[in-house]
Amino acid sequence: MDLKRAGNQTVVFANPPVILSSYSVVGPKEGQGPLGKTFSKVWKDQLGGAKSWEVAESLMLQEAMQGAIDQAGIPKDHIDYMLAGDLLNQIISSNFAARQMTLPFIGLYGACSTMALGLAVGSMLIDGGFAKHILVGVSSHHDTAERQFRAPTEQGTQRAMSAQWTVTGAGSVLLGRSGEGPRITSATIGRVVDFAETDVNNMGSAMAPAVADTILNHFHDLQRQAVDYDLIASGDLGAIGLALATEVLKQSGIDMGTTFTDCGVMVFDASQDVHSGASGCGCSSVVFAGNIMSRLKLGELKRVMLVGSGALHSSTSALQGESIPGIGHAVVIEARKE
């Protein structure tokens, strides 16, 4: 019964799940960035009429998931499971969204790797015959993340140049056992890698070794190279982490060429004062649900690897001087062949 495994860490799906729809909702800063036109909806402000940033994040996640359902035209009662996660303590954004969605709920936490993790787990459930339709949703919010992990925005604390800007956004996809759309053909589940980075303002460096490790194992397991992909997007190392991951891979004999980029680099441009780029669960989820899915559907991309990257620390562990463990999960998405 080990036929779906390839190598040490990769699963190759016998019946690749189909991405039936995708929907992305972002805040105003994200909407002003270079990918602004690829998002399904841009909020006018950070609150969206909610009483707090935390409530706003949960509402944004609900909106993205409902958007994916509506776009696919699948009756809600045909969805077997809702998989969702976020950055907040006890994944409250997802929990409260699940309270409103009233679907069987599996909560996930992989920090900023949660979108790739959700796609991997959802695909395993469908390919394993445990579900026909699965809704995956992931969110983050700049102000909720600042309040929990760093300092309240009201303090106006100066940000380090290595710091990244948490994306205010939620992305969702609906997976199906059959139908029209790009397919998820394999998934590589990452290992926790810790190179003893303790600077919470430099999470890209903390996550880069884990991303490099997952890419190395993925290539080894499937006997592939970077040139076998039209796009390899990590999410979200930012500029510093992307450069470090590229160097680690180079030292391991892997030339990533021009196909390797990072969702945290793609969301904003230099004029938006985000320093090292973007971060947050919502970063890779909105880039994937928006820009990458659009390019797959247009035929611009044929095979994509999304490598979600997560910094597995908490505000408590950071204050106690603990290092920041990193994780990277990868999924491969392929456009359906004509």
Q: Answer yes or no: do 125 and 191 share one domain.
A: no
DSSP state of 226: G
**Residue corresponding to tokens 């509402």:** 59
Residue 133 within any structural domain of the chain: yes
Q: How confident is the model at residue 141, as a pLDDT?
A: 92
pLDDT tier at 100 (50, 70, 90 boundaries)?
very high
Tens digit of pLDDT for each residue in 109-144?
999 999 999 999 999 999 999 999 999 999 999 988
Q: How confident is the model at residue 149, as a pLDDT?
A: 75
Q: Answer yes or no: do 194 and 328 share one domain.
A: yes
Average pLDDT over residues 24-46: 97
Q: Answer yes or no: do 211 and 274 share one domain.
A: yes
Burial environment of residue 164 by CB neighbours within 10 A (0 to 12, 13 to 18, 19 or more): buried
Residue 314 within any structural domain of the chain: yes
Residue 1 within any structural domain of the chain: no
Q: Answer yes or no: do 38 and 123 share one domain.
A: yes
The answer, yes or no, to whether residue 34 has pLDDT greater than 90, is yes
The answer, yes or no, to whether residue 152 has pLDDT greater than 90, is no
Tens digit of pLDDT for each residue in 262-272?
999 999 998 99
Q: Answer yes or no: do 82 and 134 share one domain.
A: yes
The answer, yes or no, to whether residue 338 has pLDDT greater than 60, is no
Last residue of a domain, one of 176, 198, 225: 176
C-beta neighbour count of 320 within 10 angstroms: 8
Residue 4 within any structural domain of the chain: no
pLDDT tier at 28 (50, 70, 90 boundaries)?
very high
Residue 189 within any structural domain of the chain: yes
Question: What is the domain-level CATH number for residue 305?
Answer: 3.40.47.40
pLDDT tier at 145 (50, 70, 90 boundaries)?
confident
Tens digit of pLDDT for each residue in 79-94?
999 999 999 999 999 9
Q: Answer yes or no: do 276 and 187 share one domain.
A: yes
Q: How confident is the model at residue 319, as a pLDDT?
A: 85
pTM over cut 0.85: yes
pLDDT tier at 147 (50, 70, 90 boundaries)?
confident
Q: How confident is the model at residue 71, as a pLDDT?
A: 97
Q: How confident is the model at residue 156, as a pLDDT?
A: 60
Measured CA to CA, the distance from residue 149 to residue 164 in angstroms comes to: 12
Q: Answer yes or no: do 254 and 137 share one domain.
A: no
Average pLDDT over residues 40-65: 96
Q: Answer yes or no: do 188 and 60 share one domain.
A: no
Residue 2 within any structural domain of the chain: no
Last residue of a domain, one of 176, 208, 230: 176
Percent of the chain with pLDDT over 90: 85
Q: How confident is the model at residue 160, as a pLDDT?
A: 63
Provide the residue range defining the domain that includes 167.
15-176
Percent of the chain with pLDDT over 70: 95
The answer, yes or no, to whether residue 27 has pLDDT greater than 80, is yes
In Å, what is the CA distance from 161 to each residue of 164, 172, 202, 203, 274?
Answer: 8, 31, 9, 12, 8
The answer, yes or no, to whether residue 13 has pLDDT greater than 70, is yes
Q: Answer yes or no: do 167 and 190 share one domain.
A: no
Average pLDDT over residues 232-242: 95
Q: Answer yes or no: do 257 and 158 share one domain.
A: no
Last residue of a domain, one of 159, 176, 193: 176
Average pLDDT over residues 4-22: 96
- 303's tokens: 């095979």
Measured CA to CA, the distance from residue 29 to residue 42 in angstroms comes to: 9
Mean pLDDT of all residues belonging to the chain: 94
Estimate to the nearest angstrom the gap between the alpha carbon of 238 and the chain centroid.
13
Q: How confident is the model at residue 155, as a pLDDT?
A: 58
Number of domains in the chain: 2
